[in-house]
Amino acid sequence: MNFEFGEEQELLREQARGFLTNHCPPAAVRAVLDGDADHDAQLWEKIVEMGWTATVIPEEFGGLGLSYLELVVIAEELGRAVAPVPFSSSVYLATEALMACGSQEQKEKWLPMLATGEAIGTFALSEGNGRPSVKSLQTRFSGSGLSGRKLPVADGRAADFAVVVAGSDAGDGASWYLVELDQDGVSREAVRTLDFSRGHAVLEFDNAKAELLGGEGAGWGATERLLDRAAVLFAWEQVGLADAAMIQARDYAMGRYAFGRAIASYQAIKHKLANMYVKNTLARSNCYYGAWALNTDSAELPLAAATARVGAIKAAVFAAEENVQTHGGMGFTWEFDCQFYYRRAKLLGVNVGSEGYWQDRLITAYEQNNAA
């Protein structure tokens, strides 16, 4: 049995954690929260310099050609630091979409730029309230351009291009379009979300220039496969966040005294923390499963991804909520950092599909696994 990271990944973790402690302290998150910027541009530049955006991009396209075991380590540390950068949109979604479905030409054009950070990409699926479905897609390509409206699109203002899911009469009912966002046919407005340390936008397409990414009518299957892959990576961010929130709650409880003793000595608080530990541990172990499946392109990926994602959503949201609760009134203030985890946990919890969506996908994958 070797169900653990190797030495190289542990070294990378140490390096990533050290880097983020220096360059992404709570003050950096707070600066984005308090300011007008969509992300921390300086931090993003340094992350690009570290080569993190190039992690899994093959060397022939200017990447480092490393494995997903490296990428999940980076994801966990970014989650722990609540980093205010467009990493998930550009790396877990746009890069993955291009690697999965891009033509040789598209890959040659975009992957090197994604690797070096010259380009930021994002993925545009949601068109508003409710669970996206192939029937609900209003965005369409007709004649010469793409028209429709997507919201919220993470990093929609920072991105240079978006992979847009549009309805189609062919195949599975959807197609992917790669749309450069700096053009007349595209307007983008900031959308305020509950976590404004991460920029979001509404994108309007009016006969926008767009090129097909992958097959016509192959976009819905591609979307589900992309979400499976992204779910594992998001889940790792979530367990990093959950661990950080648990540690913050524990440390505060050790130092906070009430009725003459540390509140960490009350069982009501200890059991809350034990619950966090249990949820975090199960989520982390399931994330190992997800990482293994992603890294080996296993047929179990849909089940592993949903399992990792459901556990990670629960762990992160629980830890973030109960961290505020453990802090009492101080936790409810703007001044305390508990809000970072609270905001981000919920944002991550809906941003590539809600708990309910992934519970449903999990049972579907379980059925398919049993049938196979």
Partner 1 sequence: MDFNDTQEEAAFRAEAAAWLKDNVPSADELAGLDDIAAAKLWQKRKYDAGWACIRWEKKYGGREASAIEQVIWNQEEAKYSTPGGVFVIGQGMAAPTLMTWGRPEHHERFLPKLASGEEIWCQLFSEPAGGSDLAALRTKAERDGDDWVINGQKIWTSGAHYSDYGILVVRTDPNVAKHKGLSYFFLDMKSPGIEIKPIKQLTGGANFNEVYFTDVRIPDSQRLGEVGQGWQVALTTLMNERAAIGGGGAGVNVDVAYRIASEVMIDDKPAIEDSAVRAKLADWYVQEAGLRFTGYRSMTAMSRGAIPGPENSIGKLVGAPKTQEMASFCMDLLEMSGAIWDENLSKEAGLLQLTYMGAPGGRIAGGTDEIMANIIAERVLGMPQEPRMDKGMSFSEVPTGSN
Binding site for partner 1 (CB under 8 A): 1-6, 69, 250, 253-254, 261-262, 264-267, 269-271, 273-275, 277-278, 281-283, 285-286, 288-289, 291-292, 295, 306-307, 310-311, 314, 355-356, 358-360, 362-363, 366
79 phi, psi to nearest 5 deg = -65, -40
Residue 222 neighbours by CB distance under 10 Å: 21
Q: What's the CA gap between 360 and 132, in Å, rounded?
A: 14
* For partner 1, the closer CB: 3 or 334: 3
**Smallest distance from partner 1 to CB 12, Å:** 14
Residue 252 tokens read as 């505060």
In the complex, minimum distance from the CB of residue 152 to partner 1, in angstroms, rounded to a whole number: 24
Closest among 177, 302, 176, 281 to 229, alpha carbons compared: 302
**Cα 179 from Cα 240, distance rounded (Å):** 32
CB of 262 to partner 1, least distance (A): 6
Closest separation between CB of residue 71 and partner 1, Å? Answer: 13
Rounded CA separation 235/243 (Å): 12
The pair of three-digit structure tokens given for residue 277, joined into one six-digit string: 């530990």
For β-strands 140-142 and 145-154, DSSP reports them as: antiparallel
For the bound state, the minimum distance from the C-beta of residue 362 to partner 1, rounded and expressed in Å, comes to 4
Between 28 and 304, whose beta carbon lies closer to partner 1?
A: 304
Contacts of 371 (CB under 8 A, 6+ apart): none
- Of 72 and 111, the one with the shorter C-beta distance to partner 1 is 72
Min separation Cβ 259 and partner 1, Å: 10
Which run of H or of E encompasses 151?
A: strand 145-154
State the greatest distance between any 2 C-alpha atoms of the chain, in Å, as a whole number: 74
Q: Which residues pair with 343 in a beta bridge?
A: none
Contacts of 183 (CB under 8 A, 6+ apart): 208, 209
Q: Which is nearer to partner 1, 111 or 264 (CB)?
A: 264
Distance of closest approach, residue 286 Cβ to partner 1, in angstroms: 5
Closest to partner 1 by CB, 5 or 336: 5
> Whole-number minimum distance, CB 311 to partner 1, in Å?
5
Q: Which is nearer to partner 1, 307 or 323 (CB)?
A: 307
Decide whether 75 or 94 has the Cβ nearer to partner 1.
Answer: 75
Instruction: Give min distance, CB of 80 to partner 1, in A.
Output: 17
The b-or-e profile of 17-51 (16+ CB within 10 A means b, else e) is bebbeebbeeebbbbbbeeeebbbeebbebbbebb
> In this structure, what DSSP letter does residue 127 have?
B
223: its two tokens: 């979307």
- Cβ atoms of residues 287 and 312 within 8 Å: yes
Nearer to partner 1, 183 or 265 (CB): 265
Which residue, 101 or 241, has its beta carbon nearer to partner 1?
A: 241
